[in-house]
Amino acid sequence: MTFSIVARQGDAYGVAVASKFLAVGALVPEAGPHGAVATQAWGRVAYRRELLDALADGQSPEAALERCTAADAGSATRQLGVVGAEGAATFTGAEAPDWAGGRSGEADDLAWAIQGNILAGEQVVEQMERTWLERGDLPFEARLVAALRAGDEAGGDRRGRQSAAVVAHQPGRGYDETGVLADLRVDDHPDPVTELTRLLDLHELYFGLPGEPIPLTGPLAEEVRRRLAEQGRTHQDLRAALTDWAGEVNLEGRLLPDSIDARVLQMLRERPGG
């Protein structure tokens, strides 16, 4: 009833998952500084902490997975994906509902485990893997969601759609350097992967790094001054007016000295009255 990608890129770990199941993000995925895990089919939530602790202790994903499933009387009903510093592993129990299966691999600084059950067919995991490998142009968390979308478009969960989630961790990144690159859930929606993509775009807007700076001079500076005035920011100092407005719309993290970020400019132009 669920399909997921668990992956590493450099020192970033994450999971993207979708299902015809309420709030899949509350049960299936977890990521931290030493690895990432997805537990699904007849998921056992305790696997998340057990496997991440094993990875933190230096066990390989294969060894950690084998040890946990061997001790679990219900392992035939489980499906798991595990990625750590030493590779990736996927497991599908013999009693996981058809179509069920997965694939894992490593290449350069990447490792991945892709798995699903009650799927439209094997093409779901095939398309997810292909997209994951092809979309190296994207930020890590967006790359995960792109792979998830590919699986959804290939048929996904054959019962339909309901929820999706992405969690990603990278040391020193995220808000206040917590390491949380993304932690987003769509709990109940007719098109959850599309909605998750929208939320991730907003997350990048508010918490992502500024893009290429555009010099705030000449006609552009006058345009920005006028648009800020239409928003009620009439300070004579342009930087003070922009800082005041950015603080209200939660874009202060994208401010640049003597320049403006392209997405900040776009949002200013799209605001009513701007």
The string of pLDDT tens digits covering residues 109-147 is 999 999 999 999 999 999 999 999 999 999 999 999 999
At 168, is the secondary structure helix, strand, or coil?
A: strand
Q: What mean pLDDT do residues 156-181 have?
A: 90
Instruction: Tell me which of 3.60.20.10, 3.20.20.80, 3.30.1540.10, 3.40.50.300 is the CATH number of domain 2-207.
Output: 3.60.20.10
| Dist CA 3 CA 121 (whole Å) | 11
Question: Which two three-digit tokens encode residue 167?
Answer: 């969690």
What is the residue-wise DSSP string for 77-128? GEEEEEEETTEEEEEE-TTSPSS-EEEEEEETTEEEEEEEESBS-THHHHHH
| Dist CA 221 CA 238 (whole Å) | 8
Is this structure's pTM higher than 0.85?
yes
Closest Cα to residue 11, out of 62, 114, 85?
Answer: 85
pLDDT digits (tens, 9 = 90+) for 219-238: 999 999 999 999 889 878 99
Place of tokens 């997209």: 131
- Domain limits of the chain? 2-207, 213-270
